[in-house]
Amino acid sequence: MKNIVVFLGAPGAGKGTAAAAVAARTGARHVSTGAMLRDAVARGTPAGLEAKSYMEAGGLVPDEVLYRMIAELLAATPDPATLFFDGFPRNEAQAAKLDELAAASGATVSSALLLDVSREALLERLGGRRVCPKCGAGYHVKALPPKVEGVCDACGAALVTRVDDQPATIARRLEVYESATAPVIGFYEKAGKLRRVDASGTAEEVAALVEKAVS
């Protein structure tokens, strides 16, 4: 059986940071659709070529691109497995489609965790984010700095700022979250699967709350 836990929250809420930390501790698999798409863009695959302009503008990539990625991922994942979905679903159509794709591959969406944090904290987190272009590790200049400034602890590559972390693009991503993604909260609330997690603490505190919520 495959068990899917959906991570919900605004851009910068810390979904990726918490999902990666708890996955490393529990043996779950962290599935970030943003990371998969950035990899597809970097490799110039057909999905990447289609996604690039939407991502750079802070909009959502067309649903069909995501459905192909998720269907392939579920088909290629052997049982048993726990999957942390970070970034999918991102609108109500995707949420309904996930139930369909999960059922077709013998998987269940067991819960959806909403990482709750103030807008002020989101802006602070996104503004200071640095990422490793080689291995995907994430950092923050103040909250989660690397041991050597500008250098990835895990693989030694030079850290970069994501192209969609420019102030105008951040503002657009937050608008898209409010209009398209926030309704997904109601989808899981109605299904009795929503769990709210206070994500205002340190990365370690948030990971501990998430681990408790998924255990």
**Catalytic residue (one of 38, 52, 129, 130):** 129
Point out which residues pair with 129 in neighbouring strands. 140
Backbone angles phi, psi at 27, to 5 degrees: 85, 5
Choose which of 16, 23, 101, 210 interacts with ligand AP5 (CB under 6 A).
Answer: 16
3 touches ligand AP5 (CB under 6 A): no
d(CA 133, CA 122): 22
What is the contact mask toward ligand AP5 in residues 78 to 97, using x (rule: CB under 6 A)?
---------xx-x---x---
What is the contact mask toward ligand AP5 in residues 95 to 124, using x (rule: CB under 6 A)?
------------------------------
48 touches ligand AP5 (CB under 6 A): no
Nearer to ligand AP5, 79 or 150 (CB): 150
144 touches ligand AP5 (CB under 6 A): yes
**Structure-token match 């700022």, residue found:** 161
d(CA 88, CA 180): 12
d(CA 88, CA 99): 12
CA–CA–CA angle 125, 130, 136 (5° rounding): 115
Query: Residue 95 CA to chain centroid, in angstroms?
Result: 14
**Structure-token match 């996955």, residue found:** 23
**Catalytic residue (one of 2, 38, 90, 125):** 90
**Structure-token match 């909403």, residue found:** 114
**Catalytic residue (one of 162, 193, 195, 196):** 162
162 given a catalytic annotation: yes
Q: Give the footprint of ligand AP5 on this chain (CB under 6 A).
A: 9, 11-17, 33-34, 37, 54-55, 58-61, 66, 87-88, 90, 94, 125-126, 128-129, 138-140, 143-144, 164, 173, 201-203, 206
Question: Which active-site residues does the annotation give?
Answer: 15, 90, 129, 162, 173
